[in-house]
Amino acid sequence: MADFPWELVLALVGALVPIVAFLWEFAFVGRKQLGYRIQMNATATDVGREHAGAWQQLQLENDDETPLQNPSFVLLRIENTGTTNIDTHDYASPNESKVGIRFKFPGRTVAGLVVADLHKTLSTAHFSPDSGLNTRNVESPGQTEGVIELPRVPLNPGQHYKVLAVLESPDGGELAHPTVDGSIKTGLGSGEIKKTESFTGIPRWIVALIVALVAIASAEPFVLDQFSDKPAPLDCATGRLTVTGSTAFEPIVREAMAAYAKSCQGSGFQAEMTGSTNGLEQLNNSRSPDVVAFSDGLKTEVKGQKLPELIQRPVALQLFTLVANKNTGVEDLTLAQVKDVFGGRVGAWKDIGAKNDLPVRLVDRESSSGTRATLEQRVLGFSEPGENSTDCEQPKTDLRGQVTRCRQGDTTAVLNAVANTPGSIGYVELGAATDRQKTKQDVVKVRIDGQQSTLDTTDRGMFPFWQTEYAYTFSEPKSDSLAASFLRYLTNQVGMDIIRSHGHRPCADLQNPVRCRPS
């Protein structure tokens, strides 16, 4: 069934429905059609004052001037309800007869009538004394029947006329419904005159047409979904991919992996984010095309090992920030103060003008961290000393007198240590710090020389703590591989929006995407 052209079938049905409805309504059913409507059939006591003027034209007495017995009134409307003209020769009555339609009133006799409310383009000459307009009463044993005979009136589409008649009922019984004799020769089927109804809303055939079209439109997605193959979205690939490297870039990577897997069935991911250096080492040692490593900054070697077969591609301009414990009382440091603090030359925050008298405690990353390498390269200009504490609060016994310095393995661990340690300061990826401020409000982002970490300040060269995020593969991945597809997704498709949502800038947004640096 997958090869069956459902789209074509449904499109044809959708096109044929209005065509068939139009032809049925106007070419067949409504081609030549004569209709009548009984707009009033009531006794004299039921008639409202609004008709009083018309009653004055009627005979309310018999020819012998005796009052009518149980008078009643009937208002008939005759109309052309078709789409083409009805001429005198279209009436299906003998050629020698001038009568086109007869109305019969069982149990009543006709006392008189008047033709009223002619269509504005309909001539009164059609109702002259010799036109065929007539009334008569037929008496038979046990039955009286009044007859109104109407002439062969030519009617254009939409034209009508009305006949107002007064009748009497000698027995005074319940008013029987009149019967009608009349037909059109060229009408559909028998051509009989049809009883119509007053209706000023949307025609029923229009309503039916709308319902049919809505039903087709509603059914089309379901039918196509059930009977057609479901192709994978553009640029999807199958297989499994291991992603490793930068913990600073981990939130973006995990969100992108989840979004890709949701869109592309048959793809699977495993995240092993252990730091930039460790990730590159893992990729280089595995020599696998199914591993992608992310690194904060460009690397040509790790732990003394060259990386000649690794191919890098820039992904994003990533921003970082200093973060301090909320009780430290520090929100802004000069670049010189930052260097003194992380160089271990400031023992207490009051020494550089902070309000709170708390010891300085430094929360670092491991030496393999790309975030730490970025701080040392772009902010400090030197490598940090080694750690001297395991709890971030007190240095080891034999190292007392030094500034307390501890190390954490990833971004989350740094934020937790800073939040739980009075007087502490650390550094993390901007998006993670912003999220922490919003959710727990236990850390503050520290400005450098009065400048916050933003795309604007970085782009203008006013904030130094940034780095280009690179994705590494072992040699060039095959174009149809999951590694190549995922990297295209991250750098050119939905992944770009994910990068922006974390406060960073995709390289493709920059003036020079290859360099992926502030302009």
- 121-159 residue pLDDT tens: 888 888 888 888 999 998 888 788 999 999 999 999 889
Q: What is the pLDDT of residue 45?
A: 67
Better-scored residue on pLDDT, 364 or 88: 364
CA distance 111 to 62: 7
Query: Comparing C-alpha atoms, which of 345, 348, 349, 346 is closest to residue 329?
Result: 349
CA distance 97 to 247: 102
For residue 130, what are the contacts with CB-CB under 8 A and spacing of at least 6?
98
Q: Say if domain 239-317+469-509 classifies as CATH 3.40.190.10.
A: yes
Predicted confidence band of residue 240 (pLDDT cuts 50, 70, 90): very high
CA distance 140 to 291: 107
pLDDT of 186 over the 80 cut = no
pLDDT of 200 over the 60 cut = no
- Which of 27-31, 109-113, 281-285, 414-418 shows the lowest per-residue confidence on average (mean pLDDT)? 27-31
Computed from CA positions of residues 101, 104, 110, 115, in that sequence, does the dihedral angle turn out positive or negative? negative
At which residue do the structure tokens 């018309």 appear? 54
- The H-assigned helical ranges of 298-394 are 335-342, 370-374
Q: Residue 331: how many CB atoms within 10 A of its CB?
A: 12
Top-confidence range, 164-168, 212-216, 345-349, 400-404:
345-349
Q: What is the pLDDT of residue 120?
A: 80
For CATH 3.40.190.10, list the domain ranges present in the chain: 239-317+469-509, 318-466
pLDDT of 427 over the 90 cut = yes
Q: What is the pLDDT of residue 191?
A: 75
How would CATH label the architecture of 31-47+54-195?
Sandwich (2.60)
Predicted confidence band of residue 331 (pLDDT cuts 50, 70, 90): very high
Q: What is the pLDDT of residue 96?
A: 80
Strand partners, 71: 168
Ramachandran angles phi, psi of 394, nearest 5°: -130, 140
Predicted confidence band of residue 19 (pLDDT cuts 50, 70, 90): low
Q: What is the pLDDT of residue 348?
A: 95
Q: What is the pLDDT of residue 59?
A: 46
What mean pLDDT do residues 20-46 have? 70
SS3 label, residue 21: helix
Query: Comparing C-alpha atoms, which of 170, 177, 148 is closest to residue 70?
Result: 170
Class of domain 318-466: alpha beta
- Which of 97-106, 243-252, 409-418 shows the lowest per-residue confidence on average (mean pLDDT)? 97-106
With a pLDDT cut of 70, the percent of the chain lying above it is 81
Per DSSP bridges, beta strands 134-140 and 143-151 are antiparallel
At which residue do the structure tokens 């974390």 appear? 502
Predicted confidence band of residue 268 (pLDDT cuts 50, 70, 90): very high
pLDDT of 232 over the 50 cut = no
pLDDT of 507 over the 80 cut = yes
Q: What is the pLDDT of residue 61?
A: 52
Q: What is the pLDDT of residue 6?
A: 59
Q: What is the pLDDT of residue 143?
A: 83
Q: Is 228 exposed, middle or buried (0-12, 13-18, 19+ CB in 10 A)?
A: middle
Predicted confidence band of residue 492 (pLDDT cuts 50, 70, 90): confident
Q: What is the pLDDT of residue 58?
A: 47
Q: Judge whether 154 and 121 are in contact, CB under 8 Å.
A: no
Strand partners, 161: 78
